[in-house]
Amino acid sequence: MQVKSEGDSLLGLSLHFSSAANERTSVLLASWGTNQFSRKFSKIIAPCQVNKPRTAPGWAVLESSIEMNGYTLTEIHAVCYRPKHEHSQLRLEHRTDGSEDTLTYSPKEYHAVLGHITMNTSKENTYFPPSSSWLVEGHYIKWSSGSQGSKTVSVKIVWKSKDGTDSQFPKYNIYVEKLPKQAVRNHGVGLGGVQEYLGVANVEAFYVSELPIPATTSSLKFIIQVCGVDGVCQNMDDSPYFQLDVKG
């Protein structure tokens, strides 16, 4: 899973399982500060932070594994929390009635974001066709000029299997890489950059409306990340894409 937080704001996942005998158990996946939950969950697991190439700044990628033989995953919840005893901070409150100023507790602001979640089983591997097996096109391309050499572009991106078979994938994550001029090789193949999430598509089409483009951008690479029914998504480097040179 991908998470992003500020200050002492923390975020984890609560997984609920049920067996055929209707036995229920719960597991908390959270990095630290979980002592306060020791009586609320059957098991607490601290995931490991891993380094993934091209991860957007500010995001942390956490991975963990769990073995629950005989149980079925029935619920997934986000758990937003702070380490115990840090839920509030002292604040000097000024009294207007002439009495002495007093120290009171006031809640801190909370900010944490849960990004992409991927779950898979050790017994199943989703097969993703290679990017070369997809036909990806851009239609209704419209350019607009902005200030200081910047531009915007609107485009409808469509994709389909080259063999003509209907896709069995339930959704596609859409990203864009804005490749700078100095990072473009011959034949328009980019050296790579930060992938910006644009949205999700449940059909084989996605419309991008007025995407801002800095003046230093030479090419846009729209990546269609294919996702399976089990939540596993194709590696970015192997995903189909549509590359668009910036006009003029």
| Residue 123 pLDDT > 60 | no
Closest CA to 43 of 24, 61, 62: 24
Q: Are residues 224 and 163 in the same domain?
A: yes
| Residue 157 pLDDT > 80 | yes
Q: Flag whether 122 is in a domain.
A: no
- Domain final residue pick, 60, 84, 114: 114
Q: Are residues 179 and 144 in the same domain?
A: yes
Asked if residue 223 lies in contact with residue 131, where contact means CB atoms within 8 angstroms, the answer is no
Q: Flag whether 126 is in a domain.
A: no
How many structural domains compose the chain? 2
| Residue 183 pLDDT > 60 | no
Q: Are residues 108 and 147 in the same domain?
A: no
Asked if residue 221 lies in contact with residue 213, where contact means CB atoms within 8 angstroms, the answer is no
Q: Are residues 76 and 161 in the same domain?
A: no
Q: Are residues 96 and 177 in the same domain?
A: no
Q: Flag whether 209 is in a domain.
A: yes
Q: Are residues 86 and 137 in the same domain?
A: no
Per-residue pLDDT, 98? 56
Eight-class DSSP state of 233: B
Per-residue pLDDT, 136? 95
- Domain final residue pick, 114, 143, 178: 114
pLDDT in tens, 201-247: 999 999 999 999 988 888 999 999 998 876 778 888 899 999 999 87
pLDDT in tens, 47-69: 887 776 666 777 888 888 887 88
Q: Are residues 204 and 150 in the same domain?
A: yes
* Mean pLDDT estimate for the chain: 80
Question: What one-letter code names the amino acid at 171?
Answer: K
Q: Flag whether 105 is in a domain.
A: yes
The tokens describing 109, both together, are 């602001």
Range of the domain at 184: 131-245
Mean pLDDT of 130-136: 93
H-helix or E-strand spanning residue 210: strand 205-213
- Domain final residue pick, 80, 114, 148: 114
Q: Are residues 92 and 144 in the same domain?
A: no
Q: Are residues 152 and 86 in the same domain?
A: no
Q: Are residues 106 and 16 in the same domain?
A: yes
Q: Flag whether 150 is in a domain.
A: yes
End-to-end Cα distance, the chain: 40
CA distance to 1, 63, 80, 150, 240, per residue, from 27 (Å)? 15, 15, 15, 49, 36
Q: For residue 187, which phi and psi values (nearest 5 degrees)?
A: 65, 15
- The CA distance from 41 to 29, in Å, is 10
pTM (predicted TM-score): 0.53
Q: Are residues 108 and 164 in the same domain?
A: no
Mean pLDDT of 159-182: 85
Q: Flag whether 235 is in a domain.
A: yes
Q: Are residues 194 and 135 in the same domain?
A: yes
Eight-class DSSP state of 4: E
Q: Flag whether 179 is in a domain.
A: yes
- The CA distance from 24 to 178, in Å, is 47
Q: Flag whether 123 is in a domain.
A: no
| Residue 137 pLDDT > 90 | yes
| Residue 119 pLDDT > 70 | yes
- The CA distance from 241 to 228, in Å, is 18
- The CA distance from 122 to 67, in Å, is 10
CATH of the domain at 150: 2.60.40.10
Maximal CA-CA distance, the chain: 82
